[in-house]
Amino acid sequence: MKVHFCPGAAPEDLEQAPCGTWLGESSELSGDWARIDCRLCQSRKEKIIGSAAAEEHAIIEQMGDMADFMRAEC
Ligand SMILES: [Zn+2]
């Protein structure tokens, strides 16, 4: 059985894991990396985490800009 990574709730009828593997009856999805035993997913792990971190960074930066903007308005 292979466990693929899927952030958040996956739709019931999802046929393909985010890594591109077609899901069979013996496939599972999890958001917990400790449970992932799909090599494709594991090799993408750093990329996935990296992009999530980059996104987070962008959001924080955006919030900082907004705070600056609000301070300038006052
Ligand atoms: Zn996978």
* Interval between CA 21 and ligand 1 midpoint (Å): 6
**Segments of the chain assigned E as strands:** 2-5, 27-30
* Interval between CA 70 and ligand 1 midpoint (Å): 44
- Pick the more confident residue, 18 or 49: 18
Largest CA distance in the chain: 59
- Which DSSP symbol is given to 57? H
Amino acid letter, 38: C
* Interval between CA 53 and ligand 1 midpoint (Å): 20
Give the pLDDT confidence of 22-31 residue by residue, as tens digits: 998 889 999 8
* Interval between CA 46 and ligand 1 midpoint (Å): 14
How far, in Å, CA of 28 to CA of 22, rounded?
A: 11
Q: Is the dihedral of CA 16, 22, 27, 32 positive or negative?
A: negative
- Identify the band that residue 14 occupies on the pLDDT scale cut at 50, 70 and 90: confident
- Structural domain that includes position 39: 2-73
How many domains would you assign to the chain? 1
Give the pLDDT confidence of 29-52 residue by residue, as tens digits: 998 999 999 999 999 888 877 887
How much is the pLDDT for 74?
A: 67
| The pLDDT of residue 18 is above 90 | no
